[in-house]
Structure 1
Amino acid sequence: MSLDRYRTAVVTGASRGIGAATVRQLRISGIDVYAVARSADDLTSLAQETGCRPLALDISHRDAVLSALGSLDVDILVNNASAFARSTVSWEAAPDDIDALMDVNLRGTLNCLAAMVPGMKARGLGHVVNLSSMAATWAIPGMPVYAMTKAALHNLSQTLRLDLHGSGVRVSEIAPGRVETGAHLAMLDDREEGRRRFYEGYESLLAEDIAEAIMFVLGSPQRMDVSFMEIVPTDQSYGGSQFHRRGGSDRHAACTKPDMIPKNLAGSD
Protein backbone atom coordinates (compact mmCIF):
# COMPACT_ATOMS: atom_id res chain seq x y z
CA MET A 1 0.00 0.00 0.00
CA SER A 2 1.63 3.22 -1.12
CA LEU A 3 0.68 6.81 -1.93
CA ASP A 4 3.92 7.44 -3.81
CA ARG A 5 2.04 8.22 -7.03
CA TYR A 6 0.28 11.15 -5.36
CA ARG A 7 1.66 14.51 -4.21
CA THR A 8 -1.23 16.89 -3.48
CA ALA A 9 -4.62 16.48 -1.83
CA VAL A 10 -7.65 18.62 -1.05
CA VAL A 11 -9.84 17.65 1.91
CA THR A 12 -13.12 19.48 2.47
CA GLY A 13 -14.81 19.76 5.84
CA ALA A 14 -11.30 19.55 7.24
CA SER A 15 -11.66 21.60 10.40
CA ARG A 16 -12.75 18.71 12.62
CA GLY A 17 -13.96 15.12 12.72
CA ILE A 18 -13.30 12.84 9.75
CA GLY A 19 -11.83 15.67 7.69
CA ALA A 20 -9.22 16.63 10.28
CA ALA A 21 -8.36 12.96 10.92
CA THR A 22 -7.86 12.45 7.18
CA VAL A 23 -5.61 15.50 6.92
CA ARG A 24 -3.45 14.08 9.72
CA GLN A 25 -3.11 10.72 7.99
CA LEU A 26 -2.28 12.26 4.63
CA ARG A 27 0.35 14.52 6.14
CA ILE A 28 1.96 11.55 7.90
CA SER A 29 2.22 9.97 4.44
CA GLY A 30 4.00 13.04 3.10
CA ILE A 31 1.13 14.42 1.02
CA ASP A 32 0.83 18.19 0.58
CA VAL A 33 -2.71 18.85 1.85
CA TYR A 34 -5.01 21.81 1.33
CA ALA A 35 -7.41 21.68 4.27
CA VAL A 36 -10.70 23.36 3.30
CA ALA A 37 -13.44 24.51 5.67
CA ARG A 38 -15.32 27.64 6.64
CA SER A 39 -13.77 27.87 10.12
CA ALA A 40 -10.47 29.73 9.78
CA ASP A 41 -9.58 29.39 13.48
CA ASP A 42 -9.92 25.60 13.50
CA LEU A 43 -7.93 25.34 10.28
CA THR A 44 -5.15 27.46 11.74
CA SER A 45 -4.83 25.08 14.68
CA LEU A 46 -4.78 22.09 12.33
CA ALA A 47 -2.12 23.72 10.18
CA GLN A 48 0.07 24.37 13.22
CA GLU A 49 -0.33 20.72 14.21
CA THR A 50 0.14 19.04 10.82
CA GLY A 51 1.75 21.49 8.41
CA CYS A 52 -1.26 21.40 6.08
CA ARG A 53 -2.26 24.42 4.00
CA PRO A 54 -5.36 25.99 5.59
CA LEU A 55 -7.94 27.37 3.18
CA ALA A 56 -11.03 29.05 4.63
CA LEU A 57 -13.61 28.64 1.89
CA ASP A 58 -17.36 28.23 1.44
CA ILE A 59 -17.54 25.43 -1.11
CA SER A 60 -21.16 26.27 -1.99
CA HIS A 61 -19.85 29.27 -4.00
CA ARG A 62 -18.54 27.96 -7.31
CA ASP A 63 -16.59 31.06 -8.35
CA ALA A 64 -14.70 31.05 -5.05
CA VAL A 65 -13.94 27.33 -5.35
CA LEU A 66 -12.72 27.65 -8.94
CA SER A 67 -10.59 30.64 -8.05
CA ALA A 68 -8.98 28.99 -5.02
CA LEU A 69 -8.57 25.43 -6.29
CA GLY A 70 -9.00 25.40 -10.07
CA SER A 71 -5.35 26.09 -10.88
CA LEU A 72 -3.92 23.43 -8.55
CA ASP A 73 -2.62 20.07 -9.76
CA VAL A 74 -4.61 18.00 -7.27
CA ASP A 75 -4.12 14.24 -7.17
CA ILE A 76 -6.56 13.45 -4.33
CA LEU A 77 -9.92 15.06 -3.64
CA VAL A 78 -11.73 13.98 -0.47
CA ASN A 79 -15.28 15.34 -0.56
CA ASN A 80 -15.97 15.11 3.15
CA ALA A 81 -17.81 18.38 3.92
CA SER A 82 -21.35 17.64 5.04
CA ALA A 83 -24.23 19.42 6.71
CA PHE A 84 -26.63 17.85 9.19
CA ALA A 85 -30.12 19.09 10.05
CA ARG A 86 -32.73 18.80 12.76
CA SER A 87 -34.64 15.54 12.87
CA THR A 88 -38.06 15.77 11.25
CA VAL A 89 -40.38 14.17 8.76
CA SER A 90 -39.93 15.30 5.16
CA TRP A 91 -42.89 17.67 4.96
CA GLU A 92 -41.79 19.51 8.11
CA ALA A 93 -38.20 20.14 6.99
CA ALA A 94 -37.32 23.81 7.48
CA PRO A 95 -36.34 25.73 4.34
CA ASP A 96 -33.08 26.89 5.95
CA ASP A 97 -32.15 23.28 6.74
CA ILE A 98 -32.97 22.21 3.20
CA ASP A 99 -30.80 24.99 1.78
CA ALA A 100 -27.85 24.08 4.03
CA LEU A 101 -28.04 20.40 3.10
CA MET A 102 -28.32 21.08 -0.61
CA ASP A 103 -25.61 23.75 -0.59
CA VAL A 104 -22.94 21.71 1.18
CA ASN A 105 -23.75 18.07 0.47
CA LEU A 106 -24.55 18.49 -3.22
CA ARG A 107 -23.60 21.88 -4.61
CA GLY A 108 -20.32 21.96 -2.70
CA THR A 109 -19.33 18.52 -3.98
CA LEU A 110 -20.16 19.44 -7.57
CA ASN A 111 -18.19 22.68 -7.28
CA CYS A 112 -15.11 20.82 -6.06
CA LEU A 113 -15.41 18.30 -8.87
CA ALA A 114 -15.64 21.15 -11.38
CA ALA A 115 -12.44 22.68 -10.01
CA MET A 116 -10.25 19.58 -9.81
CA VAL A 117 -11.48 16.66 -11.92
CA PRO A 118 -10.64 18.21 -15.33
CA GLY A 119 -6.98 18.43 -14.31
CA MET A 120 -6.99 14.83 -13.03
CA LYS A 121 -8.48 13.61 -16.29
CA ALA A 122 -5.98 15.57 -18.38
CA ARG A 123 -3.05 14.11 -16.42
CA GLY A 124 -4.53 10.61 -16.37
CA LEU A 125 -4.05 10.36 -12.62
CA GLY A 126 -6.19 11.12 -9.61
CA HIS A 127 -8.53 9.78 -6.97
CA VAL A 128 -11.87 11.20 -5.85
CA VAL A 129 -13.17 9.95 -2.50
CA ASN A 130 -16.77 10.87 -1.72
CA LEU A 131 -18.00 10.52 1.86
CA SER A 132 -21.66 9.59 1.74
CA SER A 133 -23.54 7.73 4.47
CA MET A 134 -25.31 4.46 5.09
CA ALA A 135 -28.40 6.68 4.91
CA ALA A 136 -27.70 6.89 1.17
CA THR A 137 -28.76 3.29 0.59
CA TRP A 138 -30.95 2.46 3.61
CA ALA A 139 -34.22 4.03 4.72
CA ILE A 140 -33.58 5.65 8.11
CA PRO A 141 -36.47 7.58 9.72
CA GLY A 142 -35.96 11.10 10.97
CA MET A 143 -33.42 12.39 8.47
CA PRO A 144 -35.15 12.40 5.06
CA VAL A 145 -33.53 15.42 3.42
CA TYR A 146 -30.06 14.52 4.68
CA ALA A 147 -30.54 10.98 3.37
CA MET A 148 -31.84 12.34 0.08
CA THR A 149 -28.66 14.37 -0.46
CA LYS A 150 -26.47 11.39 0.45
CA ALA A 151 -28.45 9.16 -1.94
CA ALA A 152 -27.75 11.72 -4.65
CA LEU A 153 -24.06 11.59 -3.77
CA HIS A 154 -24.19 7.80 -4.02
CA ASN A 155 -25.63 8.07 -7.53
CA LEU A 156 -23.14 10.79 -8.44
CA SER A 157 -20.23 8.56 -7.40
CA GLN A 158 -21.44 5.81 -9.70
CA THR A 159 -22.03 8.20 -12.58
CA LEU A 160 -18.63 9.80 -12.08
CA ARG A 161 -16.96 6.42 -12.56
CA LEU A 162 -18.76 6.11 -15.89
CA ASP A 163 -17.79 9.65 -16.90
CA LEU A 164 -14.13 8.93 -16.08
CA HIS A 165 -14.03 5.45 -17.62
CA GLY A 166 -10.63 4.81 -19.18
CA SER A 167 -9.08 8.01 -17.79
CA GLY A 168 -7.07 6.39 -15.01
CA VAL A 169 -8.87 8.49 -12.41
CA ARG A 170 -10.35 6.41 -9.59
CA VAL A 171 -13.58 7.14 -7.71
CA SER A 172 -14.36 5.69 -4.29
CA GLU A 173 -17.44 6.17 -2.15
CA ILE A 174 -17.23 5.52 1.58
CA ALA A 175 -20.52 5.21 3.44
CA PRO A 176 -20.09 5.29 7.23
CA GLY A 177 -22.62 4.35 9.85
CA ARG A 178 -22.66 6.30 13.08
CA VAL A 179 -19.37 8.09 13.74
CA GLU A 180 -18.88 9.94 17.02
CA THR A 181 -17.89 13.31 15.61
CA GLY A 182 -20.56 15.46 17.27
CA ALA A 183 -22.40 16.04 14.01
CA HIS A 184 -25.48 14.17 15.26
CA LEU A 185 -25.98 16.78 17.96
CA ALA A 186 -27.34 19.12 15.28
CA MET A 187 -30.39 16.85 14.96
CA LEU A 188 -31.79 18.00 18.32
CA ASP A 189 -32.23 21.45 19.80
CA ASP A 190 -30.90 20.13 23.13
CA ARG A 191 -27.30 19.09 22.45
CA GLU A 192 -26.93 17.29 25.78
CA GLU A 193 -30.00 15.24 25.01
CA GLY A 194 -28.49 14.54 21.62
CA ARG A 195 -25.28 13.31 23.22
CA ARG A 196 -27.22 11.00 25.51
CA ARG A 197 -29.42 9.71 22.71
CA PHE A 198 -26.73 9.14 20.10
CA TYR A 199 -23.43 8.54 21.90
CA GLU A 200 -23.70 7.56 25.56
CA GLY A 201 -23.48 3.80 25.97
CA TYR A 202 -22.89 3.20 22.26
CA GLU A 203 -19.62 2.00 20.77
CA SER A 204 -19.71 4.15 17.66
CA LEU A 205 -17.07 4.50 15.01
CA LEU A 206 -14.38 7.13 15.49
CA ALA A 207 -13.22 9.66 12.93
CA GLU A 208 -9.84 7.91 12.84
CA ASP A 209 -11.54 4.68 11.69
CA ILE A 210 -12.90 6.38 8.58
CA ALA A 211 -9.61 8.18 7.92
CA GLU A 212 -7.82 4.82 7.94
CA ALA A 213 -10.37 3.46 5.45
CA ILE A 214 -9.71 6.45 3.20
CA MET A 215 -6.00 5.75 3.37
CA PHE A 216 -6.66 2.12 2.43
CA VAL A 217 -8.56 2.98 -0.76
CA LEU A 218 -6.01 5.64 -1.71
CA GLY A 219 -3.08 3.30 -1.14
CA SER A 220 -4.50 0.36 -3.05
CA PRO A 221 -2.77 -0.55 -6.36
CA GLN A 222 -3.68 1.58 -9.36
CA ARG A 223 -5.35 -1.44 -10.97
CA MET A 224 -7.77 -1.61 -8.00
CA ASP A 225 -10.61 0.83 -7.34
CA VAL A 226 -12.60 0.37 -4.15
CA SER A 227 -15.75 1.77 -5.68
CA PHE A 228 -18.01 1.44 -2.61
CA MET A 229 -17.28 0.73 1.04
CA GLU A 230 -19.89 0.71 3.81
CA ILE A 231 -18.42 0.88 7.31
CA VAL A 232 -20.65 0.41 10.36
CA PRO A 233 -20.13 -0.09 14.07
CA THR A 234 -20.21 -3.76 15.06
CA ASP A 235 -23.28 -3.04 17.19
CA GLN A 236 -25.23 -1.21 14.46
CA SER A 237 -27.41 -3.24 12.12
CA TYR A 238 -30.60 -3.33 10.03
CA GLY A 239 -29.44 -0.53 7.79
CA GLY A 240 -28.50 1.57 10.79
CA SER A 241 -31.93 1.70 12.40
CA GLN A 242 -30.91 -0.60 15.25
CA PHE A 243 -27.97 0.12 17.51
CA HIS A 244 -27.26 -2.01 20.56
CA ARG A 245 -26.58 0.05 23.68
CA ARG A 246 -24.01 -1.76 25.78
CA GLY A 247 -24.87 -2.35 29.43
CA GLY A 248 -28.60 -2.42 28.79
CA SER A 249 -31.39 -3.69 26.58
CA ASP A 250 -32.00 -0.40 24.82
CA ARG A 251 -31.79 -0.02 21.05
CA HIS A 252 -32.24 3.40 19.56
CA ALA A 253 -33.05 4.06 15.94
CA ALA A 254 -31.09 6.65 14.00
CA CYS A 255 -34.06 8.98 14.18
CA THR A 256 -34.98 10.97 17.27
CA LYS A 257 -38.75 10.63 17.55
CA PRO A 258 -40.10 7.38 19.04
CA ASP A 259 -43.21 7.46 16.83
CA MET A 260 -40.97 7.48 13.74
CA ILE A 261 -39.29 4.14 14.59
CA PRO A 262 -40.93 1.26 12.70
CA LYS A 263 -42.21 -1.34 15.19
CA ASN A 264 -40.38 -4.15 13.40
CA LEU A 265 -37.09 -2.31 13.97
CA ALA A 266 -37.60 -1.43 17.62
CA GLY A 267 -36.08 -4.77 18.65
CA SER A 268 -34.94 -6.12 21.97
CA ASP A 269 -31.76 -7.80 23.17
Structure 2
Amino acid sequence: MSLDRYRTAIVTGASRGIGAAIVRELRVGGLDVYAVARSADDLTDLAQETGCRPMALDISHRDAVLHALGSLDADVLVNNASAPVRGGVSWETSPDDIDLLMDVNLRGALNCLAAVVPGMAARGLGHIVNLGSTSGTSPLPGMPVYAMTKAAIHNLSQTLRLDLHGTGVRVTEISPGRVETGAHLGLMEDREEGRRRFYEGFETLQPADIAEAVMFVLGAPQRMDVSFMEIVPTDQSYGGSQFHRRR
Protein backbone atom coordinates (compact mmCIF):
# COMPACT_ATOMS: atom_id res chain seq x y z
CA MET A 1 0.00 0.00 0.00
CA SER A 2 1.22 3.49 -0.84
CA LEU A 3 0.39 7.06 0.10
CA ASP A 4 2.01 8.44 -3.06
CA ARG A 5 -1.28 9.96 -4.24
CA TYR A 6 -1.35 12.23 -1.18
CA ARG A 7 0.96 15.11 -0.28
CA THR A 8 -0.62 17.15 2.53
CA ALA A 9 -2.58 16.15 5.63
CA ILE A 10 -4.35 17.96 8.45
CA VAL A 11 -4.76 16.26 11.83
CA THR A 12 -6.86 17.87 14.56
CA GLY A 13 -6.39 17.14 18.24
CA ALA A 14 -2.78 16.45 17.33
CA SER A 15 -0.93 17.42 20.49
CA ARG A 16 -1.18 14.06 22.27
CA GLY A 17 -2.65 10.56 22.26
CA ILE A 18 -4.18 9.26 19.05
CA GLY A 19 -3.67 12.54 17.18
CA ALA A 20 0.05 12.67 17.89
CA ALA A 21 0.42 9.01 16.92
CA ILE A 22 -1.32 9.68 13.60
CA VAL A 23 0.96 12.65 12.92
CA ARG A 24 4.02 10.45 13.50
CA GLU A 25 2.80 7.78 11.09
CA LEU A 26 1.84 10.27 8.39
CA ARG A 27 5.26 11.90 8.60
CA VAL A 28 6.93 8.50 8.26
CA GLY A 29 4.71 8.02 5.21
CA GLY A 30 6.21 11.16 3.68
CA LEU A 31 3.27 13.57 4.00
CA ASP A 32 3.49 17.23 4.89
CA VAL A 33 1.38 17.31 8.07
CA TYR A 34 -0.34 20.27 9.70
CA ALA A 35 -0.78 19.34 13.35
CA VAL A 36 -3.71 21.28 14.81
CA ALA A 37 -4.39 21.89 18.50
CA ARG A 38 -5.56 24.79 20.63
CA SER A 39 -2.11 25.57 22.02
CA ALA A 40 1.06 25.80 19.96
CA ASP A 41 3.08 25.05 23.10
CA ASP A 42 1.54 21.59 23.26
CA LEU A 43 2.78 20.88 19.74
CA THR A 44 6.38 22.03 20.20
CA ASP A 45 7.88 18.66 21.09
CA LEU A 46 5.92 16.86 18.37
CA ALA A 47 7.08 19.36 15.76
CA GLN A 48 10.70 18.95 16.84
CA GLU A 49 10.35 15.17 16.80
CA THR A 50 8.53 14.73 13.49
CA GLY A 51 8.96 17.90 11.44
CA CYS A 52 5.21 18.46 11.32
CA ARG A 53 3.84 21.98 10.98
CA PRO A 54 2.30 23.05 14.30
CA MET A 55 -0.86 25.12 14.01
CA ALA A 56 -2.54 26.68 17.04
CA LEU A 57 -6.22 26.82 16.18
CA ASP A 58 -9.55 26.65 17.97
CA ILE A 59 -11.56 24.59 15.50
CA SER A 60 -14.86 25.68 17.03
CA HIS A 61 -14.39 29.12 15.36
CA ARG A 62 -15.55 28.84 11.75
CA ASP A 63 -13.87 31.96 10.33
CA ALA A 64 -10.51 31.09 11.88
CA VAL A 65 -10.68 27.54 10.52
CA LEU A 66 -11.61 28.68 7.02
CA HIS A 67 -8.77 31.20 7.02
CA ALA A 68 -6.15 28.79 8.37
CA LEU A 69 -7.06 25.59 6.53
CA GLY A 70 -8.94 26.68 3.43
CA SER A 71 -5.86 27.43 1.31
CA LEU A 72 -3.78 24.36 2.20
CA ASP A 73 -5.11 22.07 -0.58
CA ALA A 74 -5.08 19.21 1.91
CA ASP A 75 -5.41 15.70 0.52
CA VAL A 76 -6.14 14.14 3.92
CA LEU A 77 -8.23 15.45 6.81
CA VAL A 78 -8.25 13.52 10.07
CA ASN A 79 -11.02 14.81 12.35
CA ASN A 80 -9.62 13.53 15.62
CA ALA A 81 -10.13 16.41 18.05
CA SER A 82 -12.37 15.60 20.98
CA ALA A 83 -13.30 17.44 24.14
CA PRO A 84 -12.45 15.88 27.53
CA VAL A 85 -14.86 13.20 28.72
CA ARG A 86 -16.52 13.70 32.07
CA GLY A 87 -18.61 11.11 33.83
CA GLY A 88 -22.19 11.28 34.95
CA VAL A 89 -25.72 10.85 33.75
CA SER A 90 -27.30 12.86 30.95
CA TRP A 91 -29.52 15.16 33.03
CA GLU A 92 -26.60 16.11 35.32
CA THR A 93 -24.21 17.10 32.52
CA SER A 94 -23.28 20.74 33.04
CA PRO A 95 -24.09 23.33 30.38
CA ASP A 96 -20.37 24.11 30.05
CA ASP A 97 -19.55 20.47 29.35
CA ILE A 98 -22.38 20.24 26.82
CA ASP A 99 -21.12 23.36 25.03
CA LEU A 100 -17.54 22.11 24.96
CA LEU A 101 -18.46 18.68 23.59
CA MET A 102 -20.72 20.16 20.94
CA ASP A 103 -18.21 22.86 19.99
CA VAL A 104 -15.23 20.54 19.53
CA ASN A 105 -16.69 17.17 18.57
CA LEU A 106 -19.39 18.44 16.21
CA ARG A 107 -18.92 22.09 15.28
CA GLY A 108 -15.17 21.64 15.02
CA ALA A 109 -15.47 18.69 12.65
CA LEU A 110 -18.01 20.52 10.49
CA ASN A 111 -15.82 23.63 10.36
CA CYS A 112 -12.84 21.60 9.17
CA LEU A 113 -14.98 19.94 6.51
CA ALA A 114 -16.13 23.37 5.32
CA ALA A 115 -12.52 24.46 4.91
CA VAL A 116 -11.14 21.35 3.22
CA VAL A 117 -13.82 19.40 1.35
CA PRO A 118 -14.60 21.90 -1.45
CA GLY A 119 -10.99 21.71 -2.63
CA MET A 120 -10.94 17.93 -2.42
CA ALA A 121 -14.14 17.64 -4.45
CA ALA A 122 -12.85 20.10 -7.06
CA ARG A 123 -9.58 18.17 -7.47
CA GLY A 124 -11.34 14.79 -7.42
CA LEU A 125 -8.97 13.49 -4.77
CA GLY A 126 -8.98 13.34 -1.01
CA HIS A 127 -9.68 11.28 2.08
CA ILE A 128 -11.61 12.28 5.19
CA VAL A 129 -11.03 10.17 8.29
CA ASN A 130 -13.42 10.79 11.18
CA LEU A 131 -12.52 9.36 14.58
CA GLY A 132 -15.69 8.00 16.12
CA SER A 133 -16.15 5.69 19.09
CA THR A 134 -17.91 2.45 19.92
CA SER A 135 -19.86 4.56 22.43
CA GLY A 136 -21.53 6.20 19.44
CA THR A 137 -23.03 2.93 18.20
CA SER A 138 -23.41 0.90 21.42
CA PRO A 139 -24.83 2.41 24.62
CA LEU A 140 -22.48 2.60 27.57
CA PRO A 141 -23.15 4.28 30.93
CA GLY A 142 -21.13 7.22 32.16
CA MET A 143 -20.53 9.33 29.05
CA PRO A 144 -23.93 10.15 27.52
CA VAL A 145 -23.27 13.51 25.86
CA TYR A 146 -19.88 12.42 24.54
CA ALA A 147 -21.56 9.32 23.12
CA MET A 148 -24.26 11.49 21.52
CA THR A 149 -21.61 13.51 19.70
CA LYS A 150 -19.91 10.33 18.47
CA ALA A 151 -23.26 8.99 17.27
CA ALA A 152 -23.56 12.20 15.27
CA ILE A 153 -20.08 11.63 13.80
CA HIS A 154 -21.22 8.14 12.77
CA ASN A 155 -24.22 9.58 10.94
CA LEU A 156 -22.14 12.41 9.47
CA SER A 157 -19.62 9.96 8.03
CA GLN A 158 -22.37 8.03 6.28
CA THR A 159 -23.97 11.23 4.99
CA LEU A 160 -20.62 12.46 3.66
CA ARG A 161 -20.39 9.34 1.52
CA LEU A 162 -23.69 10.33 -0.08
CA ASP A 163 -22.75 14.00 -0.43
CA LEU A 164 -19.42 13.14 -2.08
CA HIS A 165 -20.70 10.37 -4.34
CA GLY A 166 -18.92 10.51 -7.68
CA THR A 167 -16.18 12.96 -6.61
CA GLY A 168 -13.50 10.38 -5.89
CA VAL A 169 -13.17 11.63 -2.31
CA ARG A 170 -13.12 8.79 0.20
CA VAL A 171 -14.64 8.88 3.69
CA THR A 172 -13.72 6.60 6.58
CA GLU A 173 -15.01 6.43 10.13
CA ILE A 174 -12.69 4.65 12.55
CA SER A 175 -14.53 3.65 15.71
CA PRO A 176 -12.21 2.52 18.54
CA GLY A 177 -13.07 0.79 21.75
CA ARG A 178 -10.99 1.51 24.84
CA VAL A 179 -7.69 3.21 23.97
CA GLU A 180 -5.22 4.05 26.72
CA THR A 181 -5.02 7.79 26.11
CA GLY A 182 -5.94 8.98 29.60
CA ALA A 183 -9.32 10.29 28.44
CA HIS A 184 -11.16 7.80 30.65
CA LEU A 185 -9.62 9.28 33.77
CA GLY A 186 -12.07 12.18 33.57
CA LEU A 187 -14.95 9.80 34.17
CA MET A 188 -14.06 9.66 37.86
CA GLU A 189 -13.24 12.35 40.40
CA ASP A 190 -10.17 10.41 41.54
CA ARG A 191 -7.93 10.05 38.48
CA GLU A 192 -5.80 7.34 40.10
CA GLU A 193 -8.93 5.34 40.82
CA GLY A 194 -9.87 5.87 37.19
CA ARG A 195 -6.52 4.49 36.09
CA ARG A 196 -7.02 1.39 38.24
CA ARG A 197 -10.57 0.93 36.98
CA PHE A 198 -10.01 1.42 33.27
CA TYR A 199 -6.37 0.57 32.54
CA GLU A 200 -4.62 -1.50 35.18
CA GLY A 201 -4.84 -5.20 34.34
CA PHE A 202 -6.51 -4.56 30.98
CA GLU A 203 -4.78 -5.06 27.65
CA THR A 204 -6.21 -1.94 26.05
CA LEU A 205 -5.59 -0.51 22.61
CA GLN A 206 -2.73 1.96 22.24
CA PRO A 207 -2.77 5.21 20.21
CA ALA A 208 -0.29 3.68 17.75
CA ASP A 209 -2.82 0.94 16.96
CA ILE A 210 -5.32 3.51 15.74
CA ALA A 211 -2.63 5.35 13.79
CA GLU A 212 -1.76 2.13 11.98
CA ALA A 213 -5.43 1.68 11.08
CA VAL A 214 -5.47 5.19 9.63
CA MET A 215 -2.44 4.35 7.50
CA PHE A 216 -4.15 1.18 6.27
CA VAL A 217 -7.29 2.94 5.05
CA LEU A 218 -5.32 5.78 3.46
CA GLY A 219 -3.03 3.36 1.67
CA ALA A 220 -5.80 1.16 0.26
CA PRO A 221 -6.25 1.25 -3.53
CA GLN A 222 -8.29 4.21 -4.76
CA ARG A 223 -11.07 1.83 -5.81
CA MET A 224 -11.44 0.74 -2.17
CA ASP A 225 -13.07 2.86 0.54
CA VAL A 226 -13.03 1.43 4.05
CA SER A 227 -16.15 3.31 5.05
CA PHE A 228 -16.39 2.03 8.64
CA MET A 229 -13.81 0.30 10.82
CA GLU A 230 -14.54 -0.73 14.39
CA ILE A 231 -11.45 -1.61 16.43
CA VAL A 232 -11.72 -3.06 19.91
CA PRO A 233 -9.26 -4.77 22.24
CA THR A 234 -9.27 -8.55 21.93
CA ASP A 235 -10.47 -8.78 25.53
CA GLN A 236 -13.29 -6.25 25.10
CA SER A 237 -16.57 -7.75 23.97
CA TYR A 238 -18.69 -6.27 21.19
CA GLY A 239 -19.99 -2.84 22.11
CA GLY A 240 -17.54 -2.57 24.99
CA SER A 241 -19.93 -3.71 27.70
CA GLN A 242 -17.55 -6.36 29.05
CA PHE A 243 -13.78 -6.28 29.39
CA HIS A 244 -11.74 -9.22 30.65
CA ARG A 245 -9.10 -8.22 33.22
CA ARG A 246 -5.97 -10.31 32.71
CA ARG A 247 -4.29 -9.55 36.01
TM tier relative to shorter chain: over 0.9
The aligned amino acid for 1:200 is E
**Correspondences of 1:1-269 after superposition (within 5 Å):** 1-247=1-247
1:196-247 CA-to-partner distances (Å, cap 9, x unmatched) read 1111111000000000000000000000000000000001014101111112
TM-score, normalised relative to structure 2? 0.99
The alignment partner of 2:78 has SS state of strand
Contact 2:14 2:36 in 1 (8 A): yes
Structure 1 residue ranges, 4+ long, deviating more than 4 angstroms after superposition:
none
CA contact (8 A) 1:86 1:189 kept: no
Distance in 2 (alpha carbons) for counterparts of 1:11 and 1:238: 28
Could you tell me how far 1:187 is from its partner in structure 2?
1.6
Once residues 174 and 101 of structure 1 are traced to their aligned partners in structure 2, the CA distance between those partners, rounded to angstroms, is 19
Query: What's the secondary structure of 2:118's corresponding residue?
Result: helix
Identify the range of structure 1 (184-193 vs 149-158) with the bigger mean alpha-carbon deviation. Answer: 184-193
CA distance in 1 between partners of 2:186 and 2:27 (Å): 30
Question: What is the aligned length?
Answer: 247
Aligned to 1:262: none
Q: Does the 8 Å CA contact 2:201/2:246 hold for their aligned counterparts? A: yes
1:257 maps to what in 2?
A: none
Kept in 1, the 8 Å contact 2:85–2:183? The answer is: no
Deviations 1:17-65 (A, max 9, x none): 0100000000001100000001212211100000000001110011110
Task: Give, as a single letter, the amino acid of the residue that structure 1 aligns with 2:162.
Answer: L
CA distance in 1, matches of 2:89, 2:182: 22
Q: Which residue of 2 aligns with 1:263?
A: none
Alignment partners' CA distance in 2, 1:186 and 1:210: 21
Q: Distance in 1 between matches of 2:221 and 2:8?
A: 18
1:118-146, CA deviations, whole angstroms, 9 ceiling, x for partnerless residues?
00000000000000000111011111111
Partner amino acid, structure 2, of 1:60: S
Deviation at 1:114, TM superposition (A): 0.2
- Letter of the 1:128 partner, please give it: I
Q: What TM-score results when the alignment is normalised by the length of structure 1?
A: 0.91
Report the residue type matching 1:122 in the other structure: A
Which amino acid in 2 is paired with 1:50?
T
Asked if the contact 1:84–1:187 (Cα under 8 Å) also holds between the matched residues in 2, the reply is no
Partner amino acid, structure 1, of 2:122: A
Q: Which moved more, 1:154-163 or 1:95-104?
A: 95-104
Task: Specify the SS of the correspondent of 2:115.
Answer: helix
Aligned-residue offset at 1:87: 1.0
CA distance in 2, matches of 1:86, 1:53: 30
Distance 1:196 1:245 in 2: 11
Deviation at 1:89, TM superposition (A): 1.0
Partner Cα distance (1:94, 1:192) in 2: 23
RMSD, aligned α-carbons: 0.7
> Equivalents in 1 of 2:125, 2:180: separation in Å?
33
Check the 8 A contact 2:132/2:150 in 1, yes or no.
Answer: yes
Read off the aligned partner of 1:113 and give its amino acid letter.
L
Structure with max Cα Rg = 1
Distance in 1, matches of 2:59 and 2:175, equals: 21
Structure 2: give runs of 5+ residues left out of the alignment: none
**SS at the partner of 1:10?**
strand
Judge conservation of contact 2:88–2:143 (CA < 8 Å) in 1. Answer: yes
User: Structure 2 CA distance, aligned partners of 1:131 and 1:113?
Assistant: 14
